[in-house]
Amino acid sequence: MSNAGLLLDRAEAVGELGRVAETREDALTLLGGAILAGVPGLEGARLPRFEGQPREYFGKVAEIVEQGGGRAGVAALLSEASRLFPGKSGKGREAAAARDSAPHALPISIALEEDLGDEQILAIVKASRGVAASLGRRAALDLVSREEGGLCVSFEGASEAEAETIVQSLRASIEPSMRVSVARESHAFRDYFLDPLEAEGPDGQRFVLDHVRASTRLVDVAQAILEAYEEAFWPMGKGEKALPVVDLRRPGERGARRLFSQQTLHDAGVLPFDLLEVHPERRAGSVNPFLLTESLAMVKNQILEFAATHPGFEVQANALDVPTEYLVRFRAPGFAPGAPPRRIEEHEVLLVMPPDFPVKAPEAYFQREVFHPNVDAKTGLVCLGVLAESYRPGLHFGTVCQMLVDMASYRNYELREFYNAEAHAWASSPEGQAAIVAIGGRSRIELEGGAVRRARSVRIERLSA
């Protein structure tokens, strides 16, 4: 082939690379992934800093890769771009769908505690490759995320038993001068970006999900859409709670499919170009009155039994026979808003059985001031565990009462999902963790079984109508 033909091929490749990886974050993700994938021409190469226009930057990168690996190196670089950014490549949906048959991966997060340069981040990637080689495994870069402050490396075929060895080896291999923390991620697949992906609110307003990761949970997507609306539009006041639910609508298919909000986008089978419809949960038809009466009577007995066996736990109901509301009071060490948060001991919670109980979960609202990541600061609404996605009819209300006590005292809380951003930031901080442990609460590491996973924020952009 003539030199003109080679230049044309390079120009097309450069244009595609610049279109797919148009930010520093994307460029580092692509180059790091290419280094771990063994793309020829990158081994030992000194890569330029990402600056200027993406096309100009990848023009320099392609020239370096061609010098060491020829046209095969550039082709391999394009292949890695398709793997990491399936929605932006020409084979987006096919590439994302093929991941379901990919081998098991053990993802390890490497969180950066300071802003590192391109060379340092790529040095961490090379250290990961060395650890993988020492264990006879293959490492692959998932993502470099500026917003979440780190990167994620997957070790293909590695078992859970090897997780601690990999974590310790990575800590020892990364330069001591780099302030990083290494931990096991919570998902079990190689992460990737799902752009382009759109969501639709209850009023038909469209949103673009920007750089959304496949490991993002649907509840985080729903929360991001919910926060784009005024409170009056999406009622969350006492007695009129409306939880967000997510339906999947796929191009070329009829109808929509309800998704389980605790799943990741990957596990839910979401693909690039899919549409996520987010709307308030619609109430089902009325419950059989005999079932409702029987269930309410059972709840009453279970709550009174719990109160009788737990001194200091007081109950007040709105009716003698079949109450639908309970005001419970108890003592437990906890926190109220302040700077720093102040210690409190007394709590008061309103338990409400909705009209279609027991099909629908009960609702709980803290009546006194409380500072907790899983309690809405304005309404006191409890958003956690057995009162949310894990609720099933027949749940023993002694368990619910104990959960409220444990929640108030930080024996039971969730940092991967939160409804009070200020309380979440404090509870996640070293100061907050020390205060929680001091009152007998559980540390984040203890609560999450040693794996620290950062709460996932979702960037959205409202499309003009």
Q: What is the pLDDT of residue 252?
A: 76
Cα separation of 461 and 208, whole Å? 5
Mean pLDDT, range 220-236, rounded to an integer: 73
pLDDT value at position 284? Answer: 44
Q: Which amino acid is at 7?
A: L
**What local confidence, expressed as pLDDT, does residue 79 receive?**
86
pLDDT (mean) for 175-181: 83
Identify whether the C-beta of residue 192 lies closer than 8 Å to the C-beta of residue 84: yes
pLDDT at 464: 63
- Residues 339-363 have a mean pLDDT of 89
| pTM beyond 0.85, yes or no | no
Q: For residue 326, what pLDDT is reported?
A: 94
Two tokens, residue 10: 């390079």
Identify the sign of the CA torsion 120, 125, 128, 134. Answer: negative
What is the rounded average pLDDT of the residues 252-265?
77
DSSP label at residue 109:
E
**Which two tokens mark 429?**
């901080």
Residue 93: its pLDDT value, please?
52
Please give the single-letter amino acid code of residue 292.
L
What pLDDT does 1 receive? 39
Specify the pLDDT at position 89: 65
Residues 112-134: tens digit of each pLDDT: 878 888 888 888 998 999 999 99
Q: Does 8 score more than 50 pLDDT?
A: no
| 3: pLDDT strictly greater than 50 | no
Highest mean pLDDT among 182-186, 314-318, 356-360: 314-318
- Does residue 255 carry a pLDDT above 60? yes
Element (H, E) at 15: helix 3-20
Q: What is the mean pLDDT of the chain?
A: 81
Q: What is the pLDDT of residue 356?
A: 77
Q: What is the pLDDT of residues 215-225, one digit of tens each?
A: 888 888 888 88
Question: What pLDDT score was predicted for residue 414?
Answer: 84
**Interacting residues of 43 by C-beta distance below 8 A, sequence separation 6+:** 35, 68
List, for residues 394-447, the tens digit of each pLDDT value: 778 988 898 899 999 998 888 877 888 999 999 999 999 999 999 999 888 777
Average pLDDT of 171-192? 83
Percent of the chain scored above 70 by pLDDT? 83
Q: Provide CB contacts within 8 A for 204, sequence distance 6+.
A: none
Per the model's pLDDT, the better-predicted residue between 214 and 345 turns out to be 345
pLDDT (average), residues 371-375: 93
- 23-53 pLDDT, tens digit per residue, is 888 888 888 888 888 888 887 788 888 888 8
Amino acid (1-letter code) at residue 288: N
Does residue 92 register a pLDDT over 70?
Answer: no
How would DSSP label each residue in 341-391?
Answer: PEEEEEEEEEEE--TTTTTSPPEEEE-S----TTB-TTT-BB-SGGGTTT-
Q: Which pLDDT does position 275 carry in this prediction?
A: 92
Structure tokens at 300: 């009453």
pLDDT tens column, 196-205: 889 988 777 8
Residue 157 Rama label (left phi>0; alpha psi -120 to 50; beta): left
